[in-house]
Amino acid sequence: MKILVINSGSSSIKYQLFDMVHHTVLTSGIAEKIGEDEGLLTHEIYQSNEHTVKSVKTCTITNHRVGLIRIVDLLLDQADGVIRDILEISAVGHRVVHGGETLHSPTVIDEKVISAIKDNIPLAPLHNPSNLTGIEVAKSIFPHALQVAVFDTAFHQTIPIKAFLYAIPFDMYEKGRIRKYGFHGTSHAYVAERAAEYMGRPKGGLNLITIHLGNGASMAAVKNGECIDTTMGFTPLAGLVMGTRCGDVDPALPFFLAENFGMSLQEINTLLNKESGLKGLCGTNDMREVITKYHQGDSRAKIALDVYSYRIKKYIGAYFAILGSLDCLVFTAGIGENSAYIRNLCCSGLGQLGIEIDSERNSKAGKGVREISSLSSIATILVIPTNEEFKIAEETKKIIELRRQKK
């Protein structure tokens, strides 16, 4: 069973092709700069000995349809192709950013689902239209394949109303659907499952805090396998300090900026989303550069690291309180997986909560799931590489198998 996973952006298509019989990646890549004068196509083939063959070429990619056709051509290439016939692809799994309140689980794409994704465009105006474009193009190129949507917001749909509702007039929720939705749900769901597997326990019997630290960052409190709170909110701007996003701020700040700095709404939006976070505090959104600058004595880099780790530590404490107990703390995504320094900052001083890192374990690099907690730590602390694309493929496979069972 081969499943193609697509993440369609406004000017790009990321893709991975999985052999779900053997749970392996066959190929991956990205078509970039769609609609520009010169597009970029990166294609990587994974071989059985873990060796990869990578090619990068420039070409004209006038629209998403052309981009996906070029990707298919690479998959079918006579010299390096990983499939012989397009019919080998059983299904296409699509990452869709926003499912709102109506689309709360992976689902086969039909006209009702497409209509619902369109209805949620006001909630994700930068992402859902691009996701829809990818769906429409894939349906035309793979008419034989099952099309499945997996939503970034789905894992957070178990959050109770007391956690997702804002204290604003209630009809704003009823009429405008203004509430906390949360994002990175596919990543949080994936690492929660991997944590349960590692610990040899059913996910329904575990309390976890999952920490996704990339350029975008979020946390989730997972009680008995279900998400009960997350740091991102109505948009991905809320919560943790991120690469260029501010995270939690006083809601009155935009009014102050408008009145005292003469900033427009668009300028404020740009400031909070693209010029804040680590970049705003010390001039760079690359955590590796921030840490390097700190070790070189840069005082603003130290401030950035302090603010960044303090916010995470504060949410660990808050989520411990609502969970009641903690079985496992999970770090994932680029920074979470690769920065021992940040992991140590976030967990230092949490011994009273039963959270203690082993410095030697933490400092060792490695692949796969790694345990970095000390022998005296009550909570298990894990580093788990996230794999949102594989999670989408897994969910798509489940739907295929369920449909077969019903026949």
> Are residues 378 and 268 part of one domain?
yes
Residue 406 is assigned to a structural domain of this protein: no
Average pLDDT, the chain: 91
Residue 347 is assigned to a structural domain of this protein: yes
For residue 345, pLDDT beyond 90: yes
Q: What is residue 343's predicted lDDT score, i.e. its pLDDT? A: 96
Question: CA–CA separation, 171 vs 151, rounded Å?
Answer: 26
> Are residues 236 and 121 part of one domain?
no
Q: What is residue 92's predicted lDDT score, i.e. its pLDDT? A: 92
Residue 339 is assigned to a structural domain of this protein: yes
Structural domain range at position 256: 202-388
Q: What is residue 329's predicted lDDT score, i.e. its pLDDT? A: 97
> Are residues 44 and 119 part of one domain?
yes
99-133 pLDDT tens trace:
888 888 889 999 999 999 898 888 888 788 888 88
> Are residues 210 and 100 part of one domain?
no
Terminal alpha carbon distance of the chain: 18
Residue 177 is assigned to a structural domain of this protein: no
Residue 395 is assigned to a structural domain of this protein: no
CATH number for the domain spanning 22: value is: 3.30.420.40
β-strands 146-151, 328-332 pairing? unpaired
> Are residues 383 and 287 part of one domain?
yes
Residues in the chain, overall count? 407
DSSP codes joined into one string, 327-356: SEEEEEHHHHHH-HHHHHHHHTT-GGGT--
Residue 307 is assigned to a structural domain of this protein: yes
Residue 358 is assigned to a structural domain of this protein: yes
DSSP codes joined into one string, 58-121: EE---SHHHHHHHHHHHHT-TTT-S-S-GGGEEEEEEEES--TTT--S-EE--HHHHHHHHHTG
The active-site residue out of 73, 119, 152, 248 is 152
47-92 pLDDT tens trace:
766 677 888 888 888 888 888 888 888 888 766 667 788 888 889 9
User: Which of 24-38, 72-86, 134-148, 292-306 has the least mean pLDDT?
Assistant: 72-86
> Are residues 376 and 278 part of one domain?
yes
> Are residues 251 and 135 part of one domain?
no
For residue 198, pLDDT beyond 90: yes
> Are residues 276 and 354 part of one domain?
yes
Q: What angle do CA 197, 199, 200 make, to 5 degrees?
A: 65
Distances (CA, A) of 229 to 33, 174, 349, 365: 36, 20, 23, 30
> Are residues 256 and 316 part of one domain?
yes
Q: What is residue 160's predicted lDDT score, i.e. its pLDDT? A: 96
> Are residues 134 and 224 part of one domain?
no
> Are residues 209 and 124 part of one domain?
no
Q: What is residue 395's predicted lDDT score, i.e. its pLDDT? A: 92
> Are residues 214 and 302 part of one domain?
yes
146-151 sheet: strands from edge to edge: 52-59, 39-46, 24-32, 13-19, 2-8, 89-96, 146-151, 107-108
Question: CA–CA separation, 187 vs 213, rounded Å?
Answer: 11
Question: CA–CA separation, 381 vs 374, rounded Å?
Answer: 8
Number of domains in the chain: 2
pTM for the model: 0.89
* Percent of the chain with pLDDT strictly greater than 70: 98
Q: Enter the DSSP assignment of 158.
A: G
Residue matched to tokens 């209630």: 170
Q: What is residue 78's predicted lDDT score, i.e. its pLDDT? A: 61
For residue 349, pLDDT beyond 70: yes
Residue 103 CB burial class (10 angstroms; 0-12, 13-18, ≥19): buried
Residue 134 confidence class, pLDDT cut points 50, 70, 90: confident
Residue 365 confidence class, pLDDT cut points 50, 70, 90: confident
Residue 47 is assigned to a structural domain of this protein: yes
Q: Does the active-site annotation cover 286?
A: no
Contacts of 121 (CB under 8 A, 6+ apart): 128, 129
369-398 pLDDT tens trace:
999 999 999 999 999 999 989 999 999 999
